[in-house]
Amino acid sequence: MHHHYKIFKPYGYLSQFINNGKKQNSKKLLGELGAFPEGTMSIGRLDEHSEGLLLLTTDGKMCYFVNSSKVDKEYYAQVDGDITEDAITCLKNGVEIGINGKKYNTKPCPAFKLTETPNLPERGKKLRDDRHGPTSWVSITLNEGKFRQVRKMTAAVGFPTLRLVRVRVGHITLEGMQPGEAIELKDVKTAINLNP
């Protein structure tokens, strides 16, 4: 029987369970956040400096499906500056970013400026304060997952990402969770709104 979890990955953790030997002895790994069964893997990744919702599973087929373009992933990005409507329109329509040294145009996607600061726990490492200028929050929903895509997209429209939090995968959300918390999901297909 397979096991599935949702976890609030804190800032500063790698999205992996074992050290692959690449000088990461001091890095924090997901396995430190709970007693997960052998064979547990993260579905997709969040980089070390990103936070938020990660799904964990012992089922390779589930991993493959959730990583596919059939499942939306929503991110909240706190950006440097007061993001403009023109920049939001560019994000919606797709922007050119670099992937492995090549130019790539992102697919059109839902994006909008948040009217209020999202209710998220404080980040482990303090962000710069308001004396360094205004910041704003934007929601971006993707069904593709290029390396550091959200950060590259906001930088491409002139508003670099300062903090990045994944808040939703399918219909599974981060709501009510604290950094480092893991919750077992009994029926991940229903939770993600898939057909069993």
* CATH number, domain containing residue 56: 3.30.70.580
First to last CA, the chain: 15
Same domain as 182, residue 163: no
Please provide the average confidence, as pLDDT, over all residues in the chain. 89
Neighbours of 124 (CB within 10 A): 12
Nearest to 44 by CA among 143, 176, 121: 143
Report how many domains make up the chain.
2
Give the CATH number for residue 117.
Answer: 3.30.70.1560
Say what the pLDDT of residue 26 is. Answer: 74
My answer on whether 91 and 38 are in the same domain is no
Give per-residue pLDDT as tens, 95-112. Answer: 999 998 899 999 999 999
pLDDT, position 60: 87
Task: Identify which has the larger pLDDT, 184 or 189.
Answer: 184
The range of the structural domain enclosing residue 52 comes to 4-69+171-192
The reply to whether 143 and 79 lie within a common domain is: yes
Q: What is the pLDDT of residue 21?
A: 54
Q: Are residues 10 and 98 in the same domain?
A: no
Question: What is the distance between the alpha carbons of residues 62 and 169, in angstroms, rounded to a whole number?
Answer: 13
Which residue matches tokens 């599973």?
57
The per-residue pLDDT for 58 is 93
pLDDT digits (tens, 9 = 90+) for 67-90: 888 899 999 999 999 999 999 999
Calculate Rg over the CA atoms of the chain.
Answer: 17
Are 82 and 163 in the same domain? Answer: yes
Tell whether 159 and 82 lie within a shared domain: yes
Q: Strand locations in 135-180, DSSP E?
A: 135-142, 161-169, 172-173
Q: Residues 140, 81: one domain?
A: yes
65 and 150 within one domain: no
Check residue 24 and give its pLDDT: 52
Rounded CA-CA distance 79/137 in Å is 6
| Residues known to be catalytic | 47
- The structure tokens listed for 74 are 């929503």
pTM, to two decimals: 0.91
110-119 pLDDT per residue, tens:
999 999 999 9
Secondary element (H or E) of residue 175: none
> Does residue 85 sit in the same domain as residue 144?
yes
Same domain, 65 and 149: no
Q: What is the pLDDT of residues 16-53, one digit of tens each?
A: 887 555 555 678 889 889 889 999 999 988 999 999 99
Residues 83 and 160 in one domain: yes
Q: Is the dihedral of CA 187, 190, 193, 195 positive or negative?
A: positive
Instruction: Tell me, yes or no, whether 65 and 102 share the same domain.
Output: no
141 or 61, greater pLDDT: 141
- 12: alpha, beta or left, given left = phi > 0 and alpha = psi -120 to 50? left
